[in-house]
Structure 1
Amino acid sequence: MAKYNCDEAWQAKTLRGGAGLVCRDDLGCFLEAGGEGGLVCQSAIIAEALAIQEAINASWIVGFKEIVIESDSKEIITMLRKETVVGVEVESIVFNIQTLAYRLDRVIYMHTSCSCNRTAHLVASFVSKQRGTHFWVLVCPNWLFNCLAEDVNVFVRL
Structure 2
Amino acid sequence: MRRGFGWVIWDFTGRMMQAGGQGEMLYGSALMIEMDAIRVVMFACQQGGFSRVVVESDFQVAIKMVKGEMAVAVEVDSILFNIQTAIREFYEVIFIFAPRSCNKASHEVATFACRVGGSYY
Name which of 48, 58, 63 aligns with 2:49: 63
Tell which structure's C-alpha radius of gyration is larger.
1
Percent of pairs with identical residues: 38
One-letter amino acid of the counterpart of residue 34, structure 1: G
Compute the displacement of 1:111 (Å).
Answer: 0.3
One-letter amino acid of the counterpart of residue 61, structure 1: Q
> Where does residue 32 of structure 2 map in the other structure?
46
Compute the displacement of 1:90 (Å).
Answer: 1.1
Alpha-carbon distance in 2 for matches of 1:50, 1:118: 18
Q: Secondary structure of the residue that 1:85 maps to in structure 2?
A: coil
Alpha-carbon distance in 1 for matches of 2:47, 2:4: 20
> Where does residue 37 of structure 1 map in the other structure?
23
> Where does residue 61 of structure 2 map in the other structure?
75
Matches within 5 A, 1:75-154: 75-135=61-121
Provide the TM-score with structure 2 as the length reference.
Answer: 0.95
Alpha-carbon displacement from aligned partner over 1:12-39 (angstroms, at most 9, x marks no partner): xxx1111210111111111010022221
Alpha-carbon displacement from aligned partner over 1:54-102 (angstroms, at most 9, x marks no partner): 1101001111111000000000000111111111111111111111111
Runs of at least 4 residues off by over 2 Å: none
Question: Which has the higher relative contact order, 1 or 2, with Cα contacts under 8 A spaced 6 or more apart?
Answer: 2
Provide the TM-score with structure 1 as the length reference.
Answer: 0.74
One-letter amino acid of the counterpart of residue 108, structure 1: I
Alpha-carbon displacement from aligned partner over 1:130-154 (angstroms, at most 9, x marks no partner): 222111xxxxxxxxxxxxxxxxxxx
Compute the displacement of 1:125 (Å).
Answer: 1.4
**Unmatched runs of 5 consecutive residues or more in structure 2:** none
**Unmatched runs of 5 consecutive residues or more in structure 1:** 1-14, 136-158
Compute the displacement of 1:106 (Å).
Answer: 1.3
Alpha-carbon distance in 2 for matches of 1:42, 1:77: 18
